[in-house]
Amino acid sequence: MKKLLIPLLLLLATPSHAGAAHRKPDSLSVKIGQMLMVGFRGLGAESEPRLADDIRKRHIGGVVLFDYDVPSASPVRNIESAAQVQRLVDGLQGMARVPLFIAIDQEGGRICRLKPARGFPPSVSAAHLGRLDNADSTRQAAATTAALLQSLKINMDFAPDVDLNTNPENPVIGKLERSFSANPDVVTRQAKIFVDEFHAAGVIPVLKHFPGHGSSTKDTHKAFTDVTATWSKTELEPYRNLVSEGYEDAVMTAHVFNARLDSSNPATLSNAVVDGVLRREIGFGGVVFSDDMQMQAISGRYGLEAAIRLAIGAGVDILIFGNNASAYDPQIAETATAIIRKLVKSGTITPERIDRSYRRIMKLKQRIKLPRE
């Protein structure tokens, strides 16, 4: 199967025909599934029975790995050791008809799922590298992370973080040393090195959190976060710079609300922000990921159907349900799939809109390097 990836993707991208229905999955089901990424509990591929169905029957596009289970306050989630993670990834990919994005948050420093306590190499924070602003130091740190992910067969990192450190007291960015600098030129230089090293190792980078989370005073994991009074257009510069230099992989949205960009909805749910600023103004043509749709900034104010409808309407390509916020829902992929299908059936979301996301996702997936069989 894996040797026939490109022909398969082309086949799935074509419209369904009645005579072929018995030979392949429903085309719409595959396309919807590819727009979902979920988190799960378990150290093995078969640990969560519903996950196997999500991959085999619902064709989800990816999974995200965590080292700690927040809802149960348990240190056991998906990561125990290098050998275990390799087996887990192999098992997950073995169930997938279309290769999965296997994603992780491995920024370095405190935002690090692969910790030394479990036998992984130590890492430094973005803030540390930004203060040095030394290309060799950054390249070494980025190459170490890229090589580690490559060895574990993890093909996507939700990094580098290109938020500007405009508010050092920011509880989720500045205080955690996740930003390289308040200077957009420093952020651009540092992030470009990470992107280049990730590419060299076959790891897909994801810039975050668009259009900028660095000026916030609250954490979108926990609450509605309004940056109207603190955000500035300077926070867009790392994205402008990197896209102008050819970056076309993926960008993750922020759940921040900015009335100067959209007076109604936070960025993840805003067509003005995602389609208007990111795609049309900045010119980004790659895959757009939502931040975790189960975070309180979204789930605390929007019902699931409304959030999904608005995010897809905004131009988000892949919706993340990390299952690692306040609650764990093993049925979330099934529920989200049913909602999206309902929205398509009602005409609220057009098949053409689904197709646009699907084509972008498939283009990026062609860069996934699978192990030889």
DSSP conformation letters of 274-330: IIIIIIIIS---SEEEEEETTSHHHHTTS-HHHHHHHHHHHT-SEEEE-S-SS---T
Q: What is the pTM of this model?
A: 0.93
Catalytic residue (one of 221, 249, 262, 292): 221
CATH superfamily of 39-365: Glycoside hydrolase, family 3, N-terminal domain (3.20.20.300)
pLDDT at 21: 37
What residue spans define the domains of the chain?
39-365
Task: State yes or no: is 133 an active-site residue.
Answer: no
Q: Is 327 exposed, middle or buried (0-12, 13-18, 19+ CB in 10 A)?
A: exposed
Summarised one tens digit per residue, pLDDT across range 65-98 is 999 999 999 999 999 999 999 999 999 999 999 9
Task: State yes or no: is 255 an active-site residue.
Answer: no
| 85 in Cβ contact with 103 (< 8 Å) | no
Mean pLDDT value across the chain:
93
As a whole number of angstroms, the distance between CA 246 and CA 159 comes to 17
Catalytic residue (one of 161, 249, 291, 317): 291
Per-residue pLDDT, averaged over 286-312, amounts to: 96
Residue 13 has pLDDT above 80, yes or no: no
Summarised one tens digit per residue, pLDDT across range 139-197 is 999 999 999 999 999 999 999 999 999 999 999 999 999 999 999 999 999 999 999 99
pLDDT at 222: 80
